[in-house]
C-alpha cells in the first residue's frame, strides 16, 4: 500500500518555466489537497478537491492550476514559475474530507532561480 | 484577520516529563481541530482530531484539550521520550469553509535523555 506518492522529490526551475507536480493516492480517497510549506509560514493550502471533476481554491491559489480527472490523481501545475514559488510542496488525501485524517506525501522541494 | 498561533520557540524538556504544546486561534469558529507530527524532510503525520463539542481526547500517551471559550487547544505528551522530538502542528477546520484545513506554524519539541 503506497499511500500518497509525490514526484519529483526535488526540482530546480528557471523563472518562467512551467512544470507539473504529480500526486497520486491508492486509498480511494475522494478528498485531495495541495499545501506549500515555507519557513515561518507553516503549511498553506493552495487548492483542494472533494472528488473527481471538482476543485476549489485555498489560501494561496495564484500562480497554480489543478485538475482532478480521476480519483487517484491530483496534479499541480505551475504555468510560469516565479522565485516566490520556491517552497516545499505537500499533497494530502483523506477519506472524510478535510475533517478526516489527512495522509501526506513526502513532499517536493522546488527551487525557482 | 484570522490567526492560528503556536509557540515558535522550541520546547526543551527532559525524558519522562510531560510536554505541553499550545495552539491559540483568533477570529475563527472552528468545527474541529487536528494535531499532526512532522519530522525533518517528511510530510506531517496525523495524531488526533477533536471536535468543537468535545473537551478532551486521549490516545495512548497523547491528550488534547479544546477550549472554545479561551480559543485554545493544549496538546500533552506524557512520559515523553527522545523519539517524541519533532515539530507538532495544529490545524483548524472552520464551521464555514468546512473543507479547508488551516495549519499553524508548528512548535518544535526536543526531548533530552
Cell of A14: 528557471
Q: pLDDT in tens for each of the 113 residues of chain A?
A: 679 999 999 999 999 999 999 999 999 999 999 999 998 888 999 999 999 999 999 989 999 999 999 999 999 999 999 999 999 999 999 987 877 789 999 999 999 99
Nearest CA in chain A to B48: A101
In this predicted structure, what is the pLDDT of residue A1? Answer: 66
A73: left (phi over 0), alpha (psi -120 to 50) or beta: beta
Q: What is the CA radius of gyration of chain A?
A: 13
User: Looking at the predicted structure, is the pLDDT value of residue B47 above 90?
Assistant: yes
3-class DSSP state of A62 = coil
- DSSP E strand stretches across A1-113: 4-7, 10-13, 19-25, 31-38, 42-51, 54-57, 64-66, 76-78, 87-94, 103-104, 108-112
User: Looking at the predicted structure, is the pLDDT value of residue B67 above 80?
Assistant: yes
Measured CA to CA, the distance from residue A73 to residue A22 in angstroms comes to 8
User: Looking at the predicted structure, is the pLDDT value of residue B98 above 80?
Assistant: no
* Position B3 confidence tier, pLDDT thresholds 50, 70, 90: confident
CA distance B69 to chain A (A): 21
* Position B16 confidence tier, pLDDT thresholds 50, 70, 90: very high
Note the residue count of chain A: 113
- Give the count of beta carbons closer than 10 Å to the beta carbon of residue B1: 4
Measured CA to CA, the distance from residue B66 to residue B72 in angstroms comes to 6
CA distances from A54 to A33, A36, A45 (A): 12, 20, 16
A58 neighbourhood in chain B, CB within 8 Å: 100
- The mean per-residue pLDDT over the stretch B49-76 comes to 95
CA distance A91 to chain B (A): 9
* Position B97 confidence tier, pLDDT thresholds 50, 70, 90: low
Nearest CA in chain A to B99: A98
Amino acid at each position: 500500500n503506497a499511500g500518497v506518492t509525490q514526484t519529483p522529490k526535488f526540482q530546480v526551475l528557471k523563472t518562467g518555466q512551467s512544470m507539473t507536480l504529480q500526486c497520486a493516492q491508492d486509498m480511494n480517497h475522494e478528498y485531495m489537497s495541495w499545501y506549500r510549506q515555507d519557513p515561518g509560514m507553516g503549511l498553506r493550502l493552495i487548492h483542494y478537491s472533494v472528488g473527481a471533476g471538482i476543485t476549489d481554491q485555498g489560501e494561496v491559489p495564484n500562480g497554480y492550476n489543478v485538475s482532478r480527472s480521476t480519483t487517484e490523481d491530483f496534479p499541480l501545475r505551475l504555468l510560469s514559475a516565479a522565485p516566490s514559488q520556491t517552497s516545499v510542496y505537500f499533497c494530502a488525501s483523506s477519506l472524510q474530507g478535510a475533517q478526516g485524517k489527512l495522509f501526506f506525501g513526502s513532499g517536493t522541494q522546488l527551487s525557482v532561480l | 484577520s484570522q490567526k492560528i498561533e503556536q509557540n515558535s520557540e522550541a520546547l526543551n524538556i527532559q525524558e519522562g516529563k510531560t510536554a505541553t504544546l499550545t495552539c491559540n486561534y483568533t477570529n475563527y469558529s472552528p468545527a474541529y481541530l487536528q494535531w499532526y507530527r512532522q519530522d525533518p524532510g517528511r510530510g506531517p503525520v496525523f495524531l488526533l482530531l477533536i471536535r468543537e463539542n468535545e473537551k478532551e481526547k486521549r490516545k495512548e500517551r497523547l491528550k488534547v484539550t479544546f477550549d472554545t471559550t479561551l480559543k485554545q487547544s493544549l496538546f500533552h505528551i506524557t512520559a515523553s521520550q527522545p523519539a517524541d522530538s519533532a515539530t507538532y502542528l495544529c490545524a483548524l477546520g472552520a464551521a464555514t469553509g468546512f473543507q479547508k484545513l488551516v495549519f499553524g506554524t508548528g512548535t518544535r519539541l526536543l526531548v533530552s535523555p
